[in-house]
Amino acid sequence: MSDRFAPAAQILKENNYDSAKLIPILQKVQDAYHFLPEDVMRYIANELKISPAKVFGVATFFAHFAITPKGKHIIRVCNGTACHVKGSAGIIDAVKKKLKLKDGQETTEDLLFTLECVSCLGACGLAPVMVVDEVVHGQVTPAKAEELIDEVIKAEAK
């Protein structure tokens, strides 16, 4: 077994190779790899003695799972009704520009950031809302969004 599969192998072992625990296994694997690589999903299917189609089906059915690489830092900008009315489009544009993301690109080339535009973060009273690594920021402006990104970049440089 290659070192590439070592984290997945450990997670499978911790879960007693129980295919009934596929979702928690995939959650832990995603935490380890920051997404679900195709070769790792095939490895999991083989080790659990289930079809790769079942693993891929679960991974693509649930929005929580990512099958493409994600950045180390996840930025979520709400674009629901309350946030949209209060200017979330400007925040999204500012984040894309700051991170130099092209159309259709969500993750920076260096895999440091991923931008996700979501339909609701459940904090309408704080609109517009942006979440950086699970920390909620309310009443965000485009300038504040850029400051938050700068803070992460500064912390990464240490």
Tell me: the pLDDT tens digits for 82-115? 999 999 999 999 999 999 999 999 999 999 999 9
Where b means 16+ CB within 10 Å and e means fewer, 87-122 reads ebeebbebbbebbebeeeebbbeeeebbbebeeebe
Residue of 101, 138, 145 whose CA lies nearest to 121: 138
The Cα 35–Cα 26 span in angstroms is 9
CB distance 68 to 60 below 8 Å: no
Tell me: the pLDDT tens digits for 8-34? 999 999 999 999 999 999 999 999 998
The CA-atom distances, in angstroms, between 39 and each of 56, 76, 77 are 11, 28, 31
Residue of 129, 156, 158 whose CA lies nearest to 145: 129
- Reported as a pLDDT band with limits 50, 70 and 90, residue 1 is low
Average pLDDT (40-60) is 97
Retrieve residue 84's tokens: 């949209």
Considering the chain, what percentage of its residues have pLDDT values greater than 70? 99
Mean pLDDT of the chain: 95
Average pLDDT (42-48) is 97
CB distance 148 to 130 below 8 Å: yes
Q: What is the pTM of this model?
A: 0.75
* Residue 146 clears pLDDT 90, i.e. is over it: yes
